[in-house]
Structure 1
Amino acid sequence: MTRDGLAEMLGEQTTACGPARAALIADGSFIVWDGLVPADRLAHTYRTRLRITQKRGQPTLALAATVDILTHAAEEPVRIGRIDAADMSWTFMLFLNATATAALACTGVARSEPPAEPATQAK
């Protein structure tokens, strides 16, 4: 996966895709992992994350919309990716189709502090 290829996939699937694309273009780090996960399993995980971030008052972008998209995708296999903004202020999770040729959804979460290990740049 190339930076340009990933940037081209990020359109208007959710309101977080534009900021994720901007973070990627502004030299944010990114990774797309091998392996596939059923969308409904991810929907469950991110529904829980939605409740936790709401409880904490942590800013998010399109997390509820992403949960809805993943729920409707049911058992469709999904590939996961991540973009970390260069200043580490936001992390974006990407959900791609099985062949990593199209983005299904994207969500972002504001970081209160930098992670222990940023994503490595994928080639």
Structure 2
Amino acid sequence: MERAQLERLLGGGDDPSLAALSALRAGASYVVWDGTTSSESLAKIYGRRLRHTLPRGIETSRLARAVHCLDLYGRPVRLGQIKTADGAWIFMLFVDEDGRSLVACTGVRQAQPGPARPDDC
């Protein structure tokens, strides 16, 4: 998918979409994979991820909403990813089969590596 087409899809206005669009315009790397996956199976997978992130205090952006949207969508989706230039966030994109509309978008803050530890620790 071309960067300009992806930018148009992200113009929907919700928080994760706008943050992903901003990251993309700031030079983030991105990929939208070929092929489709069942939205229902992705709802289950990302539902597990939601249950994993909540008790650990991992910051997400509208992950519960993305799970809900995928569960309701009921048709195959293409999966995409945008990684911010500093690696602090990864945004997952769920695009309709034709690449014409965004079904859902969510972001997950990535753990920042701590200081290096000496070998004897």
Return the alpha-carbon distance in structure 2 between the equivalents of residues 56 and 112 of structure 1. Answer: 11
Aligned to 1:110: 109
Query: Which structure's residues are more often helix, by fraction?
Result: 2
Q: Alignment length, in residue pairs?
A: 113
CA contact (8 A) 2:20 2:91 kept: yes
- Under a length normalisation based on structure 2, what TM-score does the superposition of the two structures give? 0.89
**Aligned-partner Cα distance in 2 for 1:86–1:54:** 25
- Tell me the TM-score normalized by structure 1: 0.87
Structure with greater contact order relative to length (CA < 8 Å, sep ≥ 6)? 1
Match of 1:51 in 2: 51
Q: Which has the larger radius of gyration?
A: 2
- Once the two structures are superposed, the pairs formed by residues 22-101 of structure 1 within 5 Å of their partners are 22-74=22-74, 76-101=75-100
Which SS does the other structure have where 2:71 is aligned?
helix
Matched with 2:119 is none
Letter of the structure 2 residue corresponding to residue 66 of structure 1: A
CA-based RMSD of the aligned residues comes to: 1.2
Q: Alignment identity in percent? A: 41
Segments ≥4 residues shifted beyond 2 Å: 11-15
Q: Distance in 1 between matches of 2:43 and 2:14?
A: 15
Q: Is the 8 A contact 2:73 2:103 kept in 1?
A: no
